[in-house]
Amino acid sequence: MMLLIKLFQFMLMFHAFYSTNSNPSKPNVILMLMDDMGWGDLGVLGNPAKETPNLDRMASEGALMTDFYAPNPLCSPSRASLLTGRLPIRNGFYTTNDHARCSYTPQYIVGGIPDSEIVLPELLNKAGYRSKIIGKWHLGHQTQYHPLKHGFDEYFGAPNCHVGPYDNKKQPNIPVYRDADMIGRYYEEFKIDKSGESNLTQMFIEEAIAFIEKQHQTGEQFFLYWTPDASHSPHYASKSFLGTSQRELYGDAVMELDYGVGQILGKLKELQIENNTFVFFSSDNGAALSGGAYVGSNGPFLCGKHTTFEGGMREPSIAWWPGRIKPGKIVHELGSLMDLFATAVDIAGMKLPADRVYDGSSLLPVLVDDKMNKNKTIFYYRGNELMAARRGMYKAHFWTWSEGIPTLHLEYCPGMQVEDVTTRNLTNHMAQPVLFHLGRDPGEKFKLKLNTAEYKKGLQFIMEAVIEHKKTMIPGQPQLNMCDKGIMNWAPSGCETLNKCLHGPPSNPFKCSWPV
């Protein structure tokens, strides 16, 4: 009898040990950030093509966040804000070279993510997470800005967008990295042909699956930042997806990204770790509309990428966490990519550092406990200027602007003219802000009349939050002021092994021009 009792005790101990080591004590976190994907690109958000079955299913199994925003209408600043939890004007991802100008990190930019900023994987690593970025980094390409120097343990992707091809004389093709070293360049070892055919998205999917499987085997909780960029021009898709969409090449790219989401969520289910993994899908800014009919959709919203109208910053966003988030949930609480920083920290059982101002808050109260915060405010910045603010259903525009570069035929609001709103030149409305009720008028077409009771009440409600916001606003050192063609991707780490080092011009810094 005693032998049986001891055997039973041993089995209990073995079961406890196995359970602890096969399931991380802290949930995994996967953030999926698309590039230039619009709010209206998803079937669940009304796209008539209905070509995103996996994302639509993700929404039915999780929570669809209808009022979720990027912190900026352009790529690099939004990504910096997601990974720091702070607005671009705080973390330095803006320019003071001109007033209210969008700026980003092309390969001739000198700046990048400052060492003074705490990047999300740096915090999560302290909680025992292993972190990997797959896809586009875009927070600086010089050595000091490398992802592995800012908290990530693994890296497969590129420091810049896949724009090209270049001649490697005036400008080098963008390198692709495996961890610390480059392993090739876009358009060379990593092909993107003129038809748009490329296997890059499949590579990014395979990398994600392999990382998840590896982490499951080790029992170590993980943070995966999955950032494929096929939906950014020039669009691309693998051979099996080319020509399959009603929406031509852009749609092919979206369909393959949707497939990738399905593969990743399917792997989590296969490994039976879906209940222990928080997944969030979103985009870095609204769809770019300057390509005419060959671009994404921002649904009913005004304008697109580069602008602070709804089409430029409201994003298709889904939260997924089986067993914790009720399936089929619709969330109308205002949210931002910066909230994902605080949410991940909350999931890891940590607290935000107290030595700085954060612009996001954890989404767990509304996603898990149905506790909605109706007083959240969205601040719409372009560069160093607060262009607009939204609180509740009301949005006030303090400045408006919609013009691209006429000589390049860049139109950011094609076919969308609203008098005194889609102004071609930067226009100051501070004396009488333009006010919209986004519940009745999501397309920002009908301004509230001045001097009405609703206008005064709505504006007062917003201005209370704006005044408090400005009290804590201490701009960071701008990182996007200086450019230098001598520091482009001529000779990244690892180029010697591949015999791929190039000779660029000597360093000659100059002030960047941001016409957009």
503 is catalytic: no
CA distance 445 to 177: 45
CA distance 503 to 176: 18
State the distance between the two ends of the chain, measured CA to CA, in whole angstroms: 81
CA distance 427 to 445: 17
Q: Can you give the three-state secondary structure of 277-315, one letter per residue? A: EEEEEEECCCCCCCCCCCCCCCCCCCCCCCCCCHHHHEC
- Distance from CA of residue 185 to its chain's centroid? 23
Residues paired with residue 158 on neighbouring β-strands, in sequence order: 136
75 is catalytic: yes
Structure tokens at 59: 């929404």
CA distance 482 to 142: 13
Q: Are 285 and 37 in contact (CB under 8 A)?
A: no
- Out of 75, 102, 483, 512, the active site residue is 75
461 closest CA partner among 361, 360, 389, 397: 389
**DSSP output for 209-269:** HHHHHHHHHHT--EEEEEE--TTSSSP-B-TTTTT-STTHHHHHHHHHHHHHHHHHHHHHH
- Out of 102, 138, 141, 306, the active site residue is 138
Angle at which helices 75-84 and 338-347 pack, to 10 degrees?
Answer: 30
CA distance 321 to 268: 11
Catalytic residue numbers read 75, 138
